[in-house]
Amino acid sequence: MTNITQALSRLREDRRQAQKQVEKLSEAINVLESLTKTNGLSYAGRAGRPKRILSAAGRRRISLAQKARWARLRQQQKKAA
């Protein structure tokens, strides 16, 4: 009878340890899933924000502004030289 009692206690202890391990694995899975499921996007430093899209007009304004900056810089360099 003591053999059965010892076997039962050993099995119960094994089950407790297995449950703890399953809980740890579940936590690890949840952490990894939270990193990859940010609004359907994979984590790439965007913190869940959708990709921004510029209109053609917006790109043109930025391009013209940058060209004006470079032209101003070239003018200043010509005056200094």
* pLDDT tens figures, 30-58: 888 888 765 555 555 556 678 889 999 99
- The whole domain housing 61 covers 2-38+55-80
Unique residue bearing structure tokens 């510029």: 54
Number of structural domains found in the chain: 1
**Coil/strand/helix, residue 38:** strand
Can you tell me the distance from the alpha carbon of 41 to that of 32, in angstroms, rounded to the nearest whole number?
13
Percent of the chain with pLDDT over 70: 84
Per-residue confidence (pLDDT) for residue 41, from 0 to 100: 52
**What pTM did the predictor assign?**
0.42
- Domain assignment of residue 15, yes or no: yes
- Domain assignment of residue 46, yes or no: no
- Domain assignment of residue 21, yes or no: yes
Per-residue confidence (pLDDT) for residue 80, from 0 to 100: 84
- Domain assignment of residue 44, yes or no: no
